Structure 1
């Protein structure tokens, strides 16, 4: 009897073990999926979780098996990857088999920054020739993975991704992906024919400190108060409570000061309001490029359109883009509001609001800083009912509600994605074990008003990432800000120039490279459409510095200067074939004496050097080049690539001391 019981107990234990094994389910990070790319010739951490005691991993490229013991449910092995190739499989067995298929071994690049890195081929981006580019995007050995927008006060272990993980680059997958990253990969692939994996983790409108770890930021002390608030609940809640109270008061002050409002009534939106005295502006168009140069605040727009009877009584869709926040009324009826400058507006106009004949649309736009108004292409602005579409592009009446300079400064609390370390925590930290070939970065617009601080912050970010990824030599290639905003007739100050200067200074950090694009920006669009050239210029740097390809990747770079009597002579590296890009006279150079007053300079090329002078400056001491928001300098070399801005002086800038 005892023997039977023992055998019965043994069978139960064995059955429980089998059931336990069958129930074991391996779980992998979101970036270990079919179609992924692993870094070639590396020891690659491969890890996950399981309820089983051991996990067996087999790689098809070498038919090697690895055994991992789970600890607290987690396991990890180091996979030895060969020279590039594939496709391969990885089999993970913890009682059940999980097979990852169509894996390539190649080069993995992390692509990060703000909206110009995020800008997709189609979607809100609509880059140059986007339809043709999407149609031709058949590169099965380029693989892409897209991180979701997530922020966090503490480091996360899981990366939130779109589309279930890695995808094969094709016309069906590329449209909403980073255009700069894609064109970078395409250029490298065409030159090297090595599989390329792109991890895209960026977020429009974000600041560099959000992408830097709290530990690194603590070394510069500019963000201590906010970091303290993020780290400790009571402090954070107290800061938030204080900010909420202050911004509520400020918004009330804004509404009260807005000429278009009387209490809670939008008088400028009334159906019978007389706007005959208002001026006219063509939309879509950033107001900085029309009559409201340098304006931040509230502006109201009104347009009366004539609709056919077929629109009456039917719901209609109204679409446009606005920067930053808007509210809309139709025939005096409030329709809704939207916030965010990259968000396309989609409003449904109820059928009982529209009528046959004249209808008046009123849009109130608030812009806090930078470009403002209603922007995009004429095709982006329309009213649609069924198959009928009425364009809203053209002349609109406008009036200023309130100029922000007439208000006290708004309260500020870094929130959400722009809290220091918040994006590093959620969108970089989960990736730290993923082996990379390098990083490409396009960011800076959101830090332009703190350009002097960026001289410390940006190199800190680079060293921080290198330390966290465990590679002190990790290549880090970035884009200098494009030319943007109005062209100025005379030399002057510029926060954007100071930010570009901070980016230039960062080249002192080893294993970095900078793509200069001040020749392909757009005065009226902070998101220039020619992302093909941006990506290819980054790729040129990578090909030359990472992959050893003999390719020109830099325009002239200022090295030193010498003052003799009334002239200053400038020396450059990458000075072979100094010339102008357009075959015309050199421009963009300005010169000053001890009074720090700059004048446009007379410039000539002599023996690979630039000689600068001005009849207005008897004893020059300083030269600047392309020192403007939208510089027009045309210096290049045999490569045809533009020279970076530079200055020979160290005089105080307009962003000095800004925190």
Structure 2
């Protein structure tokens, strides 16, 4: 019987290492008998998702009977004419006890063994450079490494592809992911769940949301259809990409940036091969690239041709739904990291400073990101009190990880805890005052004991002025000597607002606006 072990060590027992590598990468010619392979995430030290069905898939000779054994289960399926097979394991409880997945084929008596497999909570962490930032750059997160227990990670190697790939490069490691946000999230989540945590890290700096979108989303996202039509017609760009991929590694910095700024290609190589690996959800820290314009699809430079900020919310919702379809899981949870404070005004609007609500700033992107909450099984980690006015890569990542874990613990683990800060419930206009009512506002207070800051008022003229704010129970009363009939409120609606409003859990109030004014140009 041909027997092979999948992992970093002892990749093959009775077949050559070269043959196994070809099989794993799916490079055996069609004319030859298809070797037995499994999906890229099924490697030694893997973490399987607890309490939900677990698909196991791969390739083998057409007509072969494939049998998978794990944790007392034994399931079989027949390989189809495309040489693909899929078997679904029944839901399993969590365990940190290492076990072996055994996969056998009736053709050639082939056998694969995947060792040291545990069962717990699995999350995909994706996005651009702020997800990519390593934990060594953040001292308070780096200091957590010695206390990291029960955390494993699979890092997807960064590359692109013109077509959807069935496999990706990477290995499971018995160590935290080298991402400050992903590690902080996993560290806090393990405290709540007390089970093995598996993080699949797939991210790349400078990437737009369109880079992570499958081509079939051209059917639902009009601007993406335009982008892909233009890409298909751009022979020079396609030839350059092919040349880079065929050339030596490592790539030059210029080539690396050129690749990661392309649309669709990161999805093909770095996201599609992961599905439908069972997971609880996906953490998404991305958006900076799409803040390069307000209205989107600018002509120059080419890498700013994307949704922009105003179209991002609708694009994000469609992307979430498309990923749930890919994973065949309508309850797949999505946690979005709100972009933190930063100031770089766009030239398309008034440039009134980091705290002014009319500046064309990241405030509009945050509003788009919050549209994800219109879908079930979503959360947005509020970072409005974090960030750096001048640094697009701030180091205050530990609070982000903690807030993500709070949302996951409440919404996916069913724990009864306070997971986010105050949320505007309604606004009452009474003469020359406006009263803002909040939910999740027990112990509503300010971090410094001063009056609440970050509130602005306007009347029908759309002229915005700073508001005087007074706390009263779970409300904030607003007024301004400059307005006799205020009607509209914007809170923390700026690039880098100065905010101090929190609940008794110390979690910040979410930004909001009550007007429907279009961005002033």
TM bucket, shorter chain? 0.7 to 0.9
| Aligned partner (choices 26, 43, 52) of residue 42 of structure 1 | 52
The TM-score with structure 1 as length reference comes to 0.64
1:494-513 map, 5 Å:
494-513=360-379
Partners of 1:129 and 1:531 in 2: CA distance: 9
Task: Name the SS of the counterpart of 2:453 in structure 1.
Answer: coil
Q: CA deviation at 1:142?
A: 1.6
Corresponding residue for residue 474 of structure 2: 608
1:6-405 map, 5 Å:
25-51=35-61, 54-62=64-72, 64=74, 66=76, 68-69=78-79, 71-85=81-95, 86-94=97-105, 95-122=109-136, 126-134=137-145, 136-139=146-149, 141-161=150-170, 165-169=171-175, 174=177, 177-230=178-231, 232=232, 235-237=233-235, 339=254
Corresponding residue for residue 460 of structure 1: 318
How big is each residue's C-alpha offset from its partner over 1:303-335, in whole Å with a ceiling of 9 and x where there is no partner? xxxxxxxxxxxxxxxxxxxxxxxxxxxxxxxxx
Corresponding residue for residue 286 of structure 2: 443
Are the aligned partners of 1:209 and 1:217 in contact in 2 as well (CA < 8 Å)?
no
Partners of 2:421 and 2:404 in 1: CA distance: 13
Q: CA deviation at 1:654?
A: 5.4
Quickly say closer, same or farther: Cα 1:64–1:629, change in 2 above 3 A: same
Partners of 1:210 and 1:63 in 2: CA distance: 39
Task: Name the SS of the counterpart of 1:75 in structure 2.
Answer: strand
Q: CA deviation at 1:137?
A: 4.7
How big is each residue's C-alpha offset from its partner over 1:206-230, in whole Å with a ceiling of 9 and x where there is no partner? 1112222222243231122331244
Corresponding residue for residue 417 of structure 2: 551
Quickly say closer, same or farther: Cα 1:339–1:53, change in 2 above 3 A: closer
Q: Where in structure 1 do 4 or more consecutive aligned residues deviate above 6 Å?
A: 238-241
Task: Name the SS of the counterpart of 2:38 in structure 1.
Answer: coil
Quickly say closer, same or farther: Cα 1:192–1:491, change in 2 above 3 A: closer
Corresponding residue for residue 469 of structure 1: 327
Task: Name the SS of the counterpart of 2:168 in structure 1.
Answer: coil
Task: Name the SS of the counterpart of 2:191 in structure 1.
Answer: helix
Partners of 1:489 and 1:24 in 2: CA distance: 61
| Aligned partner (choices 575, 599, 604) of residue 441 of structure 2 | 575
Matched, 1:428 2:271: yes
Partners of 1:215 and 1:69 in 2: CA distance: 26
Task: Name the SS of the counterpart of 2:424 in structure 1.
Answer: strand
Partners of 2:430 and 2:329 in 1: CA distance: 46
The structure with more strand, counted as a fraction of residues: 1
Q: CA deviation at 1:82?
A: 1.5
Quickly say closer, same or farther: Cα 1:525–1:620, change in 2 above 3 A: same
Tell me how many residue pairs correspond in the alignment: 451
| Aligned partner (choices 432, 436, 454) of residue 566 of structure 1 | 432
Q: CA deviation at 1:485?
A: 3.3
Matched, 1:634 2:500: yes
Are the aligned partners of 1:148 and 1:160 in contact in 2 as well (CA < 8 Å)?
yes
Q: CA deviation at 1:104?
A: 0.7
Task: Name the SS of the counterpart of 2:362 in structure 1.
Answer: helix
Q: Which residues of structure 2 form unaligned runs of 5+?
A: 1-32, 240-251, 294-307, 345-352
Matched, 1:617 2:483: yes
Task: Name the SS of the counterpart of 2:185 in structure 1.
Answer: helix
Q: CA RMSD in A?
A: 2.6
Quickly say closer, same or farther: Cα 1:205–1:98, change in 2 above 3 A: same
Q: CA deviation at 1:469?
A: 1.3
Q: Which residues of structure 1 form unaligned runs of 5+?
A: 1-22, 242-336, 344-414
The TM-score with structure 2 as length reference comes to 0.81
Are the aligned partners of 1:157 and 1:430 in contact in 2 as well (CA < 8 Å)?
yes
Task: Name the SS of the counterpart of 1:105 in structure 2.
Answer: strand
Are the aligned partners of 2:355 and 2:498 in contact in 1 as well (CA < 8 Å)?
no
Partners of 2:474 and 2:309 in 1: CA distance: 31
Corresponding residue for residue 350 of structure 2: none
Task: Name the SS of the counterpart of 2:420 in structure 1.
Answer: coil
Q: CA deviation at 1:583?
A: 1.5
Quickly say closer, same or farther: Cα 1:153–1:62, change in 2 above 3 A: same
Higher Rg: 1
